Amino acid sequence: MKARSLQDLAGLKKAMAEQRAQAEAEHQRRIEQERREQAERELFARTVGVVQPLASSERVTLKGEPPPPQAHQKRMDERAVLRESLSDEFDVSTLLDVDDQMSYRAKGIGTDVTRKLRRGDWSIQGQIDLHGLRSDEAREALGQFIRESVRQGWRCLRVVHGKGLGSPGREPVLKAKVQRWLVQKSEVLAFVQAKPAEGGAGALVVLLR
């Protein structure tokens, strides 16, 4: 019984010694950590120097009115109109096919295209009626119509210019001008006189690129 008590006492002493050793090790670890942190603070202070706080964090209000929004599409359209520069004096006589209906083919386009155009192989996707407009109005309207048709992806159009029966001398003035304008448009591949049921001599069927 006495021997067992001695063993228990020895075990208790050993456990207490281990606890003291662990406590001492933890104390040393904390001291070492504080030393490292202090050393890092001192190093930062030597490296950066004295740090001054910002004087104020208030926002700065910019003076003056913001610039007005720019109508980019409008400017682009206006520049496109200026680029039209379609001449009323352009000579198309050498460019038109002299046949009973006076058709036109761009350079490199075969007669099969105008033949198919007359036959109605392409469905007409859009139409503009220039009949009754002044020359400058008709020129601007035609240019805008072709630009819009290109944007829409349309290829086959009908342009109504009238037969000129109401013009002085009953001459088809607008008809001749429309032919001149169309020939000058790079988007135009060909045009032919419309079928009688689609306007006849008072209209053209136009094929775009």
Q: What is the 3-state secondary structure (H, E, C) of 27-94?
A: HHHHHHHHHHHHHHHHHHHHHHCCCCCCCCCCCCCCCCCCCCCCCHHHHHHHHHHHHHCCCCCCCCCC
- Chain CA centroid to CA 53, Å: 47
User: Looking at the domain that runs over 91-208, which CATH code has it been given?
Assistant: 3.30.1370.110
Query: Strand pairing of 126-129 and 156-160?
Result: parallel
* Beta-bridge partners for 204: 159, 193
- The residue among 165 and 180 whose pLDDT is bigger is 180
Q: Give this prediction's pTM.
A: 0.55
User: What is the model's pLDDT at position 104?
Assistant: 93
Give 82's pLDDT tier (boundaries 50, 70, 90).
Answer: very low
